[in-house]
Amino acid sequence: MPKIILITGTSTGLGVATAVQAAQAGHIVYATMRNTQKRGALDAAAQAAGVSLTVLQLDVQDSASVTRAVDTVIAEQGRIDVLINNAGMGYVRSLEQAEEADIRKRCLQGTQDQLDGLKFHGSRSSMRRVGWPAAMASSVALR
pLDDT tens digits, 7-25: 999 999 999 999 999 999 9
Q: Compute the distance between CA of residue 99 and CA of residue 27 in angstroms, rounded to an integer.
A: 42
Query: Is pLDDT above 90 for 75?
Result: yes
Neighbours of 77 (CB within 10 A): 16
Decide which of 15 and 89 is more confident. Answer: 15
Is residue 53 one of the residues assigned to a domain?
Answer: yes
Is residue 143 one of the residues assigned to a domain?
Answer: no
Strand intervals (E) in the chain: 4-7, 28-33, 54-57, 82-85, 134-135
Q: Compute the distance between CA of residue 49 and CA of residue 116 in angstroms, rounded to an integer.
A: 32
Identify the CATH number of the domain in which residue 79 sits: 3.40.50.720
Is residue 140 one of the residues assigned to a domain?
Answer: no
Asked if 88 contacts 139 with a C-beta cutoff of 8 angstroms, the reply is no
Helix 13-24 to helix 40-49 angle, to the nearest 10 degrees? 30
